[in-house]
Amino acid sequence: MTTSRIPGFYNLTLEERRAKLADAADLSQGDLIPFTSPLTADIAMHMVENVIGTYALPLGIGLNFLVNGRDVLVPMVIEEPSVIAGASFMAKLARAGGGFTATSTEPLMIGQLQVLNLENIEKAAEQVLAHKAELLTYVDETESSLKSRGGGARDIEVRIIEDSPIGAFLVVHLIYDVRDAMGANAVNTACERLAPKIQDITGGRVHLRILSNLTDRRMAKATCKIPVGELAFTAQDGSVTRPFTGEDVRDGIIAAYAFAAADPYRAATHNKGIMNGIDPVVIATGNDWRAIEAGAHAYAARSGKYTSLSIWEKDAEGNLVGTLEMPMAVGIVGGATKVHSAAQAALKLMNVKSANQLAEIIVSVGLAQNMAALRALATEGIQRGHMSLHARQVAIAAGASGALIEKVASQMVQERIVRIDRAEEILRTL
Ligand code: NAD
């Protein structure tokens, strides 16, 4: 049985971490090999164009995650320090309230067809709807692979765009169940197949045929409840200690959320913090993080005013309750997911069996990461925790290696000056 609790993981050597991880995930060390030698240029050659090599990023493990009662060890690929530590710490606090409860909708994607040159747009829209059953059958007959897996065409919708730089036109939406795929290629193919039919029915010209990344029919939602007592802590700043009660921290987080709910300038950074948790898992599993980013921000602006993707409030017992609901179009088949051996290993590590299950883990990590940022901002400030980790990168950038990295970093943190010129000076004295 997998456990995501590995106390002292951060203190272990690389080899010890790998051994502990294999043990905790019930995997062989061989299963983890793709994480240390993931992608060859030979494979990369077949993934994109003009390849001359590959590019590596750190891969760490988000610990302590309990999602729908199941322990999950979360692979996270990211270059930014303190994200993995923050998410793991919040996941630990969330465990005390039962971990994360996550749900997701059916994997419904939206394909768009833009219909131009129509004499009567309303009439064309009605005609498309009148042929709905025939159109859905046509898509499923021509694209039988998704149908045979329990997916396929679900609905046809019409929208009239009244006001655009070229005037009014018709948009036809194909609602397509893509099961365990991200589905962009599948939707695009279906839209291209559908286009001549739509032209025949409407007498117009189908121009664009492409999915929408605002996948608001394919949503994932995570909630967590943190017992207020778990939030209490004492901040240490040199010799000064500053105690925070659970109520202080809870109310501070709620006030920080309120800022993001009301102000787009703050919401952009608040949501960036959420994506700090989301993107690393999306990348680790070979998914398209630009698609997830596009969907997230478009959804955050759905009311016409850009706002927070998450909600933080207190329940009747005074516990802190967080909710994150957002579009989540990720797959476990198709795209790069099967080609990239580390993506396969990532899915195996999490023991993920469906795209929905993956989406539910990803929003849970996003919520944990959001809470980590809000808790730091609402109490001791973001820089204290961040800077001690950032200091190591600055030390390396200044030329430190081996044991000197830690020495230079900790001196800079002590002095509260984390800058490359200072790192260079310290390095010279050492
Ligand atoms: P895909 O076409 O590689 O895989 C989907 C296919 O896998 C399905 O059509 C089906 O035939 C097959 N399949 C096998 N088992 C399946 C299962 N259990 N459930 C569902 N399908 C199964 O890839 P895709 O997911 O259609 O597209 C994803 C790729 O499209 C990504 O690489 C993405 O970067 C790219 N893309 C994105 C955009 C965008 O987001 N705007 C646009 C174009 C392409």
**Mean of the per-residue pLDDT values of the chain:** 95
Q: Which residues of the chain have pLDDT under 70?
A: 238, 383-385
DSSP symbol at 117: S
Say if residues 28 and 22 touch (Cβ distance below 8 Å).
yes
Element (H, E) at 236: strand 233-237
The DSSP-derived string for 370-399 is HHHHHHHHHTT-HHHHHHHHHHHHHHHHTT
Q: Is the CB of 202 under 6 A from ligand 1?
A: no
For 115-155, the pLDDT digits (tens) are 999 999 999 999 999 999 999 999 999 888 899 999 999 99
Q: Which of 422, 428, 425 is nearest to 387 (CA)?
A: 422
Q: How far is the CA of 187 from the centre of ligand 1 (A)?
A: 8
Share of the chain above pLDDT 70, in %: 99
Q: How far is the CA of 120 from the centre of ligand 1 (A)?
A: 35
Q: Catalytic annotation on 314?
A: no
Q: Catalytic annotation on 80?
A: yes
Q: How far is the CA of 332 from the centre of ligand 1 (A)?
A: 9
For 188-246, the pLDDT digits (tens) are 999 999 999 999 999 999 999 999 999 999 999 999 999 999 999 988 776 778 899 99
Residue 266: exposure state from Cβ atoms within 10 A (0-12, 13-18, ≥19) = middle
Q: Is the CB of 149 under 6 A from ligand 1?
A: yes
In Å, how far from its chain's centre is CA 32?
Answer: 22
The active-site residue, picked from 288, 340, 360, 390, is 288
Share of the chain above pLDDT 90, in %: 85
The active-site residue, picked from 272, 314, 348, 407, is 272
SS3 7: coil
The DSSP-derived string for 325-375 is EEE----SBSTTTTT-HHHHHHHHHHT--SHHHHHHHHHHHHHHHHHHHHH
Instruction: Report pLDDT for 322.
Output: 98
